[in-house]
A = this chain, B = another copy of it.
Amino acid sequence: MDKLIPVVVIKEIGETEKILSALEADGIHCAEITFRTACAQEAIKLAVQKFPDMHIGAGTVINAEQCKRALAAGAKFIVSPGLSEEAAKVCEKADVPYYPGCVTPTEIMKAISLGITVVKFFPANVYGGLKAMKALAAPFPQIRFIPTGGVNKENLDEFLAWDKIYAVGGSFMVEEALNKWQK
Contact = CB atoms under 8 A, between A and B. Distances in A.
Interface of A: 34, 36, 60, 62-63, 80-84, 100-110, 112-113, 122-123, 125-128, 131-132, 135-136, 138-141, 149-150
Contacts of A150: 135
Given A112-B62, A141-B36, A105 B122 contact: yes
Tell me the number of copies of this protein: 3
Given A62-B112, A113-B63, A139-B60, A105 B81 contact: yes
Nearest to A86: B113
A36 B139 contact: yes
A82 B103 contact: no
Contacts of A110: 82
The 10 A-B residue pairs with the shortest CB-CB distance, nearest first, are: A82-B106, A82-B105, A123-B135, A81-B105, A81-B139, A82-B109, A126-B128, A126-B132, A101-B105, A83-B106
A82 B62 contact: no
Nearest to A63: B113
Contacts of A84: 109, 113
